[in-house]
C-alpha cells in the first residue's frame, strides 16, 4: 500500500464534514489541514511563540515567586540522567486564569474547555492612552462570532527586558470592555502583561476578572506579542493540567494564516 500523503483526506472524513455541516473556512488551519487537501503542511506555516520564558530572575506579581529550579540528579555527579525539581507560582509568566481564580467553587485549570484554547483568534493593537473600553471595541471592526481576542499594547515592549522591574502602570481592558466580550460571546481574552485588571480606582471589586470568569471566559495573561502584528491567527494555548488549579502556566502559539 502506498504511503498516505500528509494532505490527503479520506472519503469518510469528507462525508463527516458534509454530514455535520462543518464550515471548513471558519475552522482553524489545524482543522483545515485535516479536512482540506490544499492546506499547507505545518512545516510551511509560520508559528510565533508568544509565551514568556520561565526563569529565576523573571518579573512576577509582587509577593509571588518566580521559577525555582533545583537539581535532583546530575550526570556530572554520577547519576544516569539529569532530573530537576521545579517550583513557581501558578500565575507566573504566561498563564491562564480559570474561574476559580476569583470565583469560589468555579471551574479549575484542569477543566478548562479545550475548544476555547484552540482556534482562530484576532490580535488587536491598542495604542491609545488609558485602557481598552467598550466604545473602542465597538469601533474596532471586529467581525461577528469572533471567539478569541488578544490585545497587543505598549506592554509588549517591556518584555525586551524580562527581568525589568514590575510596574502597575500597564495597559489592559476595563470593565466595560469585559462586559462587551461577554455580550459578544468571546471565549478567550488575552493581554500582554501580568494582569487583566486595571490598577487604581478601577480595580475595586475586580470587575474585569469577575465579569469574564463569571461568564466562563478564559483569561490569558503575560503574553509577549512583540513579534506579531494585528490580524487573524490560529491560537494554540496549552496550560498545564493542574488538578484543582486556580491558575496554570501556559505555552501559547500563534500560527499565521
Q: Helices (DSSP H) in 68-206: which residue ranges?
A: 114-117, 134-138, 175-183
The active-site residue, picked from 91, 101, 131, 209, is: 101
How crowded is residue 57: how many other Cβ atoms within 10 Å of its Cβ? 9
| CB environment 88-107: b (16+ within 10 A), e (fewer) | bbbbbbbbbbbbbbbeeeeb
Q: Is 233 exposed, middle or buried (0-12, 13-18, 19+ CB in 10 A)?
A: buried
**Is residue 69 within 8 Å of 84, Cβ to Cβ?**
yes
Q: What is the spatial distance between Cα 148 and Cα 190, in angstroms, rounded to a whole number?
A: 8
Q: Which of 175, 128, 134 is nearest to 152 (CA)?
A: 128
Is 244 marked active-site? no
Length in residues, the chain: 257
Q: What is the spatial distance between Cα 97 and Cα 107, in angstroms, rounded to a whole number?
A: 10
Q: What is the spatial distance between Cα 24 and Cα 110, in angstroms, rounded to a whole number?
A: 29
**Is residue 95 within 8 Å of 247, Cβ to Cβ?**
yes
Catalytic residues: 101
Amino acid at each position: 500500500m502506498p504511503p498516505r500523503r500528509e494532505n490527503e483526506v479520506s472519503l469518510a472524513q469528507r462525508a463527516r464534514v458534509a454530514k455535520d455541516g462543518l464550515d471548513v473556512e471558519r475552522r482553524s488551519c489545524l482543522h483545515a489541514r485535516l479536512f482540506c487537501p490544499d492546506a499547507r503542511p505545518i512545516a510551511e506555516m509560520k508559528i510565533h511563540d508568544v509565551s514568556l520564558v520561565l526563569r529565576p530572575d523573571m518579573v512576577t506579581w509582587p509577593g509571588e515567586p518566580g521559577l525555582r529550579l533545583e537539581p535532583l540528579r546530575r550526570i556530572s555527579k554520577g547519576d544516569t540522567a539529569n532530573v530537576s525539581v521545579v517550583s513557581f507560582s501558578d500565575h507566573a509568566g504566561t498563564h491562564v486564569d480559570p474561574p476559580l481564580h476569583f470565583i469560589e467553587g468555579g471551574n479549575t485549570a484542569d477543566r478548562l474547555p479545550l475548544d476555547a484554547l484552540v482556534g482562530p483568534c484576532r490580535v488587536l493593537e491598542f495604542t491609545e492612552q488609558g485602557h481598552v473600553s467598550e466604545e473602542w471595541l465597538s469601533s474596532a471592526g471586529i467581525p461577528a462570532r469572533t471567539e478569541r481576542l488578544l490585545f497587543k499594547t505598549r506592554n509588549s515592549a517591556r518584555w525586551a527586558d524580562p527581568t525589568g522591574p514590575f510596574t502597575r502602570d500597564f495597559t489592559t481592558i476595563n470593565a466595560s470592555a469585559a462586559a462587551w466580550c461577554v455580550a459578544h460571546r468571546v471565549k478567550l481574552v488575552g493581554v500582554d502583561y501580568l494582569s487583566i485588571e486595571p490598577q487604581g480606582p478601577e480595580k475595586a471589586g475586580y470587575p474585569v476578572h469577575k465579569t469574564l470568569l463569571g461568564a466562563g471566559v478564559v483569561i490569558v495573561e503575560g503574553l509577549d506579542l512583540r513579534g506579531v502584528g494585528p490580524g487573524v491567527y490560529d491560537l494554540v494555548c496549552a496550560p498545564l493540567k493542574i488538578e484543582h488549579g486556580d491558575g496554570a502556566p501556559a505555552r501559547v502559539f500563534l500560527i499565521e494564516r
